[in-house]
Amino acid sequence: MQSRSQYDLYAAEGASGLPVDSELAILRDIFRMLPAGVTVQDEHGRFLLMNDAAALQLGIAADGPAAMPSKELDHRRETGLELLGAGRAAVAEEFVTRGEVKQIFLTAHRPVRIADRNLLLSSSTEISEQKALEDHLFRTAYYDELTGLPMRRVIEHRVTNLLQRDEPLGRFALAFLDIDNFKHINDYYGHAIGDALLVEVAKRLGMNLRESDMLSRISGDEFLLLLNPIQSEHEVAEYIHFTLERLKAPFFIDGSEIFASTSIGVSVYPDHGRSYQALRQNADIAMYRVKNNGKGSAAFFDAGMEREALARMKIEQSLRLAILEKRFCCAFQAKVDIRTQDIKGIEALVRLRDDEGVIQAPGTFINLAVELGLIDELTHLVLAEIVKSIDLINETFGHGTTISINVAAKQAGNPEFMRSFAEALEATGFPSRFMIEVTEDAFVAKTHFQDQILPIFRRLGVGISIDDFGIGYSSLSALADITADEIKIDRSFITDIHKRPRSQGILRAIESLSEALGMTVIAEGLESFEELAYLQAATKIRYAQGFYFSRPIFLEELKPSIPLARDTRANLASRPPQLSRPAYARGDVYRR
């Protein structure tokens, strides 16, 4: 008998030295257990091989692909026939849904020729977690987490693409939307309610939009709306009108009924700009025109607005330069006891000297300083001016007079600034001489001002005055919750008080309530003898401030040898009843 050759034995046992059958069994088990899904198809679409991972992905049993068809299996078969027919490789993402479970697979298809047969080798790897992470990063980068709306860069990209198209471009509109008084809503109701309001506003703004339109949240309470295409401004005006009407309905959030209006500015391509930046800026300018004219409406951009914006920019530059060069000065106006003619205190009123040395009233720069974030530095400059001139102030007005400094509501709600300002007051060495005047809307943010800030000033002996009382958000209903030493009744209630019974009734109510709460009342803007006579005869009010007694006086005008207190008493005693304010002495000229 002829014995086996070495080659025959190798062939019978396989390369590993094991019998061929055993080796094939091992290879089959390894193939079945591969983590990647692997299939082999022939040119007729039949699956010659399929491991367990592929069977699970395609929704069939590994040992019977033909017996349990699925849509995934049919799609894989059709893809295989197409690729084998074209003789090309491909990589594609495949989506599989099993009930609540959604999976994504990355599948590579490669045509191969083995044993004179054209076969398609396909390998799939699950990338669900990777895709979820990519999607999260994408949405974080391009979509607002709170409202789900696209962010600034997305709408900018969309508009830029529209402008760069080769085909003739039609007209479209950009609308800049800003929620009015959103800070007050946030302060009063809390940030959670404020966030919920933003979500609800976004839902209303997004109603009835077309696929080609886009709504974007570009910052805290600002939205940008692309309307594309449009036929005319009239069409846009109608849509914006309906949007404003929709927003007028109250929002019911967490048991609160909230009203929120929106100011809208609109620019139209190509009339108002041929770039995204120009269109957005002009819509922004139009929106600010609405803000300045009363809020809650809409306006289209026009050339006049651009001129106003340039003028405003010039004022802004001058304001920044003036602060840098410290070209601010203080005028002082007395708070007078209308029964004894003594001076109770003085209010420091900031003024700006322009490039030519002309004094500018605060109406031209205070609101802008607040908006630009320059008001903090300006307030510290006022305090420095007072400290530098305290000897002259004492000699003129008396050592016992209080000195009032105005603090904007935005500053009053900023604990960081108020703490630094308290430290500056303490550093003067006479903090108890000071009175901080804030408008009543500052008290809406009760948590910040009442709980955190007010105790700091109380420890220093600094007084608190409510300025312009009666015209803010809280009015009489807020007095019970406000801790203050002084209430300054807004001049709108004092002007011609002797002729206005309704104002007299309001004045009596404020006087009675403030007396019960232990707060001193000061009448602002007193300008005529008749107004003074009414206050003396018909009210218990002791103090007033206004042009009737004295215009705001600059330090360089003061004459230390003739104290103002003595002048005031003499003038009051000798002033005839018919003498009233000079023609230029309007309240907004001298009040901050």
3-state SS string over 441-465?
HHHHCHHHHHHHHHHHHHHHCCEEE
Give the residue-averaged pLDDT of 22-47: 86
Residue 9 pLDDT class (50, 70, 90 cuts): very low
The secondary structure of 58-112, three-state, reads HCCCCCCCCCCCCHHHHHHHHHHHHHHHHCCCEEEEEEEEECCEEEEEEEEEEEE
Q: What is the pLDDT of residue 277?
A: 93
Residue 149 pLDDT class (50, 70, 90 cuts): very high
Neighbours of 427 (CB within 10 A): 10
**Mean pLDDT rounded to a whole number for the chain:** 82
Min mean pLDDT across 315-329, 364-378, 425-439, 469-483 is at: 469-483
Query: Which 3 state secondary structure label does DSSP give 527?
Result: coil
Give the residue-averaged pLDDT of 302-311: 78
- What does CATH list as the number for 314-557? 3.20.20.450
| Res. 518: pLDDT tops 90 | no
Burial grade of 171 (CB within 10 A; 0-12, 13-18, 19 or more): middle
Region of residue 273 (phi > 0: left; psi between -120 and 50: alpha; otherwise: beta): left
Q: What is the pLDDT of residue 582?
A: 37
Burial grade of 221 (CB within 10 A; 0-12, 13-18, 19 or more): buried
Name residue 172's beta-bridge partners.
269
Query: Which 3 state secondary structure label does DSSP give 250?
Result: coil
Contact between 508 and 529 under an 8 Å Cβ cutoff? The reply is no
| Location of structure tokens 């799609």 | 75
| Res. 2: pLDDT tops 60 | no
Min mean pLDDT across 256-260, 270-274, 562-566 is at: 562-566
What is the rounded CA–CA span in Å between residue 323 and residue 304?
29
| Res. 543: pLDDT tops 60 | yes
Contact between 267 and 282 under an 8 Å Cβ cutoff? The reply is yes
CA angle, corner 522, sides to 568 and 563, nearest 5? 20
Min mean pLDDT across 65-74, 161-170, 311-320, 436-445 is at: 65-74
CA angle, corner 378, sides to 375 and 381, nearest 5? 155
Is pTM beyond 0.75 here?
no
> What CATH topology corresponds to 144-301?
Alpha-Beta Plaits (3.30.70)
Q: What is the pLDDT of residue 368?
A: 79
Residue 324 pLDDT class (50, 70, 90 cuts): confident
Structure tokens at 450: 């009442």
Name residue 237's beta-bridge partners.
none
List, as one string, the DSSP characters of 21-37.
HHHHHHHHHHHHH-SSE
* Domain boundaries, given as residue ranges, for the chain: 35-62+71-130, 144-301, 314-557
Contact between 316 and 370 under an 8 Å Cβ cutoff? The reply is no
Contact between 473 and 524 under an 8 Å Cβ cutoff? The reply is no
| Res. 456: pLDDT tops 70 | yes
Q: What is the pLDDT of residue 166?
A: 64
**Which tens digits make up the pLDDT trace of 90-111?**
999 988 887 778 889 999 999 9
Query: Which 3 state secondary structure label does DSSP give 249?
Result: coil
Min mean pLDDT across 12-26, 200-214, 390-404, 573-587 is at: 573-587
Q: What is the pLDDT of residue 357?
A: 65
Q: What are phi and psi of 222, to 5 degrees?
A: -115, 135
Give the residue-averaged pLDDT of 565-578: 46
Helix or strand run (H / E) with residue 335 = strand 328-337
**How far apart, in Å, are the Cα atoms of 183 and each of 100, 225, 500, 588?**
42, 22, 35, 25
> What CATH topology corresponds to 35-62+71-130?
Beta-Lactamase (3.30.450)
User: Taking each helix axis from N to C terminus, what angle separates 390-397 and 564-574, rounded to the nearest 10 degrees?
Assistant: 30
